[in-house]
Every structure is written in structure tokens, then in C-alpha cells.
Amino acid sequence: MLKVGIVGGTGYTGVELLRILAAHPEAQLQVITSRGEAGTPVAGLFPNLRGHVDLAFSEPNVERLAECDVVFFATPHGVAMESAGELLGRGVRVIDLGADFRLKDVPEWERWYGLEHSRRDLVEEAVYGLPELNRAAIREARLVANPGCHVTTVSLGFLPLVQSGWVDRASLVADSKSGASGAGRKAAVPTLLAEAGESFKAYGVTGHRHLPEIRQTLATAGGAEVGLTFIPHLVPMTRGIEATLYARIDGDAGDLQALFESTYADEPFVDVMPPGSIPETRNVRGANTCQMAVHRPGGGDTVVVLSVLDNLVKGAAGQAVQNMNIMFGLEETAGIDGIALLP
């Protein structure tokens, strides 16, 4: 039984991580930290966990965390890089759900996140936690950088195309829409019901932190840099991401449906739908699944991929547990093979 610790479990990603781990057959929650909620029972803050999680939040304590086999950081950027090194030095494996170790270009990270990175050595060591791309490296990793939610949705949709060489990789377009939980649990005017309800808007149009991460992921997959226009949007729902992806065919392309089906044939958490399908976010609500469909409108030279997932599960906590399973040689689907909620 794995001993599991969580640093910073009071946000939406944290409670989703707790929900999944509480039912995991091979994991035992040992400690969950929060400076602001220290002493508060977890079930007092999150009543859905009554009878499932008996822990109380505690002040961060390296000694207690060092007793764990794996520690998840569900914290804002800048936190994990200050604490992960000591845990790694004590033999604890670390999965960071934040952004501290995602970008290999440290100056680029500092530009997007507005901080000086204090552990460049760990950036070099960290393995990017997209299992469909890096499963073998994740298996041996001490430190895994869990991908961003938009990044997972967009990257999985584009991967078969950039790997095949059938499209112009210099002119990719991603139009991605996310529910309000993607902004976190903090109180903020833009995500108040009266502000976000019955409305639909783009954000981060001049630049979004997930842009360099998607570019890095696709460049790794395709072996060459990509040109990408990425525009995220806020939609008035709680969970889910839908990404509509566009790529221009470059030369002769083969059977797109067969390409996607063969790419993901052995992937337990990628569902390639039949030709003509339209994935919906409700199809994957609460599940660790990325569902997608590929189209070629009018038989023209544009490929359209529709990709959906639950931003809190396959886009965050579920994928983190998937990485944990791989790292410790467990069944990859353990604890995350639940069926989506419908309606």
C-alpha cells in the first residue's frame, strides 16, 4: 500500500485528488497540508468526503511528508520548486500538479510566470507527465510535472497529426473552451455566477501560459518546432474542456480515422469516436478520459479534431494518479477507471 501525501489540498484540484485517492485500492492517504485550514477536518471543508477521508489538514511538515512514498503538490506555481528537492533527497517521489517543472526552457518559464526559478537542476530532471507520450520515462521518474488541462486536451488531439507529418505544423490553431473550475477555487470577480453565467468570452488572447507548454509538447512529439495559435475561452459551466483544433493538410494524407485509431489503440484513457461523431464535455464528466473525433469538412484540405475532457480529472488529478500508477508499477487504470456521470 502506497503512503501518499498531498501539499495544498484545498482547491478544486485538491478535492478531486482526495476523492480519487480515497477510493484507490493501492493508496493510503497519510497527510494533507494547508496553512490556512490547519486543524480543520477534511470532511468539514469537503462534506462529500465524509466517511471516506478521516484526516485533518495540517501545517506543512517535511518530516511527516518524508514518511510518504509519493507526495502530490496541488499548489500555486512557485511552491513545489521550493520544497520538492528536500523530499526527493529523502527518497520520496514527487508529482507536481502545478507548473514549476513543465517548461524545460527556464528563462521562458520565468517570463510567463513572473518568478525566478530556484531549482533549474530539477527542471532538467523532471519528466513531463503525459503518459501517452512519455510513459517509459514516467515509469523511472522521481519527479513528474503533471500537464496543464488545456495542454492535455489540445496536445492529445494534435499528436497523431504532428507525428504523421501529414499537416503543416507551422499553422496549427487551437480554439479551447473551459469551465469555471479551471480558474481555481479562489474568489474572483470574473468567475462569479453573475459575471460568467449566460456569457461566453475569450481570455489570454495576447498570450497564455499554456501556449509554450503545448508548443513544447508537440515539438517533442513531432521532432520539430510548431507554429500554434491558441485561444482559450471561459464558458458558463463548472467542469470540462472542449478544444476544436484546426490543421492544414500538407501534401497527401492517408486515412485520418485509421491514423487516430491506431495511435491510441492501446491507450486506456483516450477514446477515438467513430467517423462523424461529435464529442461533448458531458460524455467525460468525472472520468479520466479524453474523447475525440477527427473530421475533414467537405473533403477539403483542413483537418478538424474535436477533443474533450474533464479539466479536473484527465486534465489534472486523474492524470496525476495515472502517473503515480505508472511510476510505482501499478495497474495504470487503478482508481481512475470510473464511468463518466450522465447527465
User: Which phi and psi angles does 150 have, rounded to 5°?
Assistant: -60, -35
Sign of CA dihedral 273, 277, 278, 284: negative
- Calculate mean pLDDT across residues 201-206: 92
Residues 248, 305, single domain; the answer is: yes
Residue 30 domain-assigned (yes or no):
yes
pLDDT, residue 329, reads: 98
| Residue 275: per-residue pLDDT | 98
3-class state of residue 210 by DSSP: helix
pLDDT for 193 equals: 76
Count of domains for the chain: 2
Q: Residue 181 has what pLDDT?
A: 85
- Beta carbons of 8 and 80 less than 8 angstroms apart: no
pLDDT in tens, 155-175: 999 999 999 999 999 999 999
Q: Name the catalytic one among 143, 149, 290, 326.
A: 149
The structure's pTM equals 0.96
> Quick check: is 325 in a domain?
no
Domain harbouring 80, CATH code: 3.40.50.720
Q: Which of 330, 339, 318, 335 is nearest to 52 (CA)?
A: 335
Q: Which three cell numbers stand for residue 203?
A: 481570455
Same domain, 74 and 207: no
Same domain, 35 and 163: no
Give the mean pLDDT of the chain: 95
User: Are 33 and 105 found together in one domain?
Assistant: yes
- Under the banding of pLDDT at 50, 70 and 90, the label for residue 95 is very high
Tell me what pLDDT residue 81 has: 96
* pLDDT for the residue numbered 251: 83
Question: 149 an active-site residue?
Answer: yes
The boundaries of the domain holding residue 225 are 150-311
pLDDT bucket at 188, cuts 50 / 70 / 90 = confident
* Full 3-state SS string of 291-319: EEEEECHHHCCEEEEEEEECCCHHHHHHH
Residue in the block written with cell 476523492: 19
Task: Check whether residue 162 and residue 105 sit in a common domain.
Answer: no
Same domain, 43 and 163: no
pLDDT, one tens digit per residue, over 231-284 is 999 999 999 999 999 999 998 889 999 999 999 999 999 999 999 999 999 999
**Which pLDDT score, from 0 to 100, does residue 185 have?**
76
Q: What share of the chain is helix, strand, coil (3-state, %, to 5)?
A: 35, 20, 40
Q: Is the dihedral of CA 275, 303, 133, 308 positive or negative?
A: negative
Please tell me the predicted confidence (pLDDT) of residue 187: 72
How far does Cα 257 stand from its chain's mean position?
A: 25
Mean pLDDT, rounded, for 35-54 = 94
Place of cell 503515480: 324
Higher pLDDT pick, 90 / 191: 90
pLDDT tens per residue, range 126-148: 999 999 999 999 999 999 999 99
Residue 21 lies in a domain: yes
Residues 160 and 89 occupy one common structural domain: no
